[in-house]
A = this chain, B = another copy of it.
Amino acid sequence: MDQIPGPAVPSARAVLRPIGLRDARVTGGPLARWQRVNRETSIPLGLERMERSGALPNLRRAAGERDGQFQGYRFQDSDLYKQLEAVAWEHARAPDPRYTAFIERAAAVLAAAQRPDGYLNSHYQVVKPEKIYAELEYSHEMYCAGHLLQAAVAASRAGAGDTLLPVARRLADHLVQVFLTGGNDGIDGHAEVETALVELHRLTGDPAYLDLAAKLVDNRGKGLIRDSGMGPLYAQDHLPVREADTPVGHAVRQLYLEAGVVDLYLETGDESLLECSVRRWEDMVATKTYVTGGNGSRHDGEAFGERYELPPDRAYSESCAAVASIHWNWRLLLATGHGRYADLLERVLFNAFAASTSADGRRFCYVNPLQRRNDLVEDAYLGRRREWFACACCPPNIMRLVASLGGYLATRSEAGLQLHQYAEGVVSGGGGRVRVDTDYPWDGLVRVTVEEAPAGEWELALRIPSWSETTYVDNHLAQPDEDGYFRIRRSGWRAGDTVELNLDLTPRLLRPHHRVDAVRGSAALQRGPLVYCFEQADQSGRVEVDDLAIARDAVPRPVPRDDLPGVGRTVLLDVDAVVVHEPRDGLPYTSKPLATSTRVTATAVPYFQWDNRDGGAMRVWIPLA
């Protein structure tokens, strides 16, 4: 085992192996900006919230160090754990004594709060100790535990101190005693601990953690916990994991569960786990994924919804689901080496995930709709980012992902180095080191300069995204192999050797499949990995976004902007469009439409950059005239 700092470090079956966070330094482009804002703005705000939100005070109450009512939700502890994980990854990127100090302080509170038997959950210790492990269907006790385990793994891998690890191990050992060897066959209504247990196993080598993860996965779908009132699909407890064909219910739960399922495969080699997870991935991609890569079509139940039920206005597309999808795709990429998982990871990263945070890092989306109408009444705040939430699962989740972003850029193998995501920076792995110069995703040129390579045969693999229709490598037309990569394998690499990848950023109009009812007759604009949206702030005069339509053969024109106020660096897309004028008289259904239209130029902005200005109308899918 090589405990490099970074997300999900598999020990056994991985086709590809991760590089450490310190092996991927991002120096430019949106990813670097997100990481800078995360460190300078979001994380400090998050740390402050750990007191105000009650997360730390609750644990002090559990430790008997503080009076007062428990604050917030029963899963309030998990906010702190994700915040700790964010700080740990940040420390790996650039050590800071304030981070280690925070981790130590929190670890001391946790150690004081933890019961002698290892149990730790401030809500149940403070509010209802008589119900410990008695209401697993909604208690979130193992869910919270999982986030602590992951935080402790991160802190250890990141070299941010080992103070969290003993607390996490005692809690994990307690879970083992109760749920593995103690005869309790329960599972947590909210999956998450499974992947964390596997990670803790990777770090510690303790087989009991892996065995418990396996038992929890095996026990799901057998009705071993009560229905929380939301139905068994909500918690993926309707069918055994190996039998379920499609992701269902609460999207974040399903997606965390999948990360755990693939993690288990990676360590145990149980092919049935990989097989069922891939089957659900394929179904999810084909029928339950937004063009932004987001998942979750329903506000009620925060649920996936039915196949092809993908409303843009009522999209839930929770930020946490985007994080969990990245976790799952990452593990599938490591397990299979197939670029389709890196493709989806990129789509999620640059769209559904990136849209969750404002340009200044101060506000966050919980829900990420693909449409906001211009005169909201029921949900005036739909799609507006907020500083924090009563249920604050998303902001610290976003922060831990951004802090660990570098780990997702590349992998290594015996053959060499694989670049999956493109950003300006320096990447080491597989015995080599390369510098990446690019203005991606604003520009499609990616120049890779070898700084170091082994003496013998060495392979540099470059992912060719599926959206790049015509790709060149060193000015030659380049076809991806069946895994989606262009591989340059040769001996005698020398420092200074360059490879120029030229990705096709021609803007495209995407059309929905016939069965995607909610956006029929519309198109979405995509340029490279970026999905665009029409936001009211960019339109001229009296052009109302809700009345726009574009021609079927419209050719979007890129308009680079160095520093669009509120937004920053971007490339807008101008497109010939019409404003539709249709009378509003009685029912909005007629056998004799009387619409007229006026020609205008409409302007689209990358979806991830929306809601940095006025809060007006926005739509990803634009009607075709």
Mark A residues whose CB is within 8 Å of B: 233, 246, 248-249, 285-287, 289, 291, 298-301, 303-309, 311-314, 340, 347, 371, 373, 375-379, 466, 469, 508-522, 524, 526, 546-547, 549, 580, 582, 584-591, 593, 595, 621, 623
Contact = CB atoms under 8 A, between A and B. Distances in A.
Given A304-B378, A378-B303, A312 B516 contact: no
Output the residue of A378, A466, A516, A580 with the most chain B CB within 10 A: A378
B371 A514 contact: no
A373 B308 contact: yes
Given A314-B309, A379-B306, A589-B513, A522 B520 contact: yes
Given A376-B306, A378-B233, A514-B580, A340 B586 contact: yes
Nearest to A289: B587
A516 B287 contact: no
Contacts of A289: 587-588
B307 A373 contact: yes
A518 B524 CA distance: 15
Nearest to A301: B378
Contact of A589 (B313, B340, B510): B510
Contacts of A379: 306
Contacts of A549: 514
5 contacts: A286-B587, A340-B586, A511-B589, A514-B595, A517-B621
A510 B377 contact: no
A511 to B, nearest CB: 5
Nearest to A623: B520
Contact of A305 (B248, B298, B303, B378): B378
Contacts of A623: 514, 517, 520
A233 B381 CA distance: 14
A300 B303 contact: no
A347 B308 CA distance: 29
Contacts of A524: 589
B587 A378 contact: no
Contact of A587 (B285, B306, B308, B509): B285
B518 A518 contact: yes
Given A286-B585, A305-B378, A546 B590 contact: no
Residues of A contacting B: mostly:
loop
A167 to B, nearest CB: 36
A595 B584 CA distance: 34
Nearest to A307: B375
A543 to B, nearest CB: 14
Contact of A509 (B248, B309, B347, B591): B591
Contact of A248 (B347, B377, B546, B591): B377
A589 B466 CA distance: 12
Contact of A521 (B286, B307, B521): B521
A251 B509 CA distance: 38
B307 A511 contact: no
Contact of A371 (B313, B375, B517): B517
A304 B304 CA distance: 22
B378 A306 contact: yes
B512 A588 contact: yes
Contacts of A286: 584-588
Given A285-B586, A510-B589, 11 more contacts: A233-B377, A248-B377, A287-B588, A306-B375, A307-B373, A308-B588, A311-B311, A469-B591, A509-B591, A511-B593, A516-B588
10 tightest A-B CB contacts, nearest first: A521-B521, A513-B588, A508-B591, A520-B521, A300-B300, A510-B589, A514-B580, A514-B582, A299-B300, A291-B589
Contacts of A249: 378
Contacts of A521: 520-522
A508 to B, nearest CB: 4
A99 to B, nearest CB: 38
A523 to B, nearest CB: 9
A249 B379 CA distance: 10
Nearest to A310: B588
A590 to B, nearest CB: 6
A510 B590 contact: yes
A596 to B, nearest CB: 11
Nearest to A579: B514
Output the residue of A249, A520, A526 with the most chain B CB within 10 A: A520
Contacts of A311: 311, 314, 518
Contacts of A519: 517, 520
Given A308-B373, A378-B248, A378-B304, A517 B518 contact: yes
Nearest to A304: B378
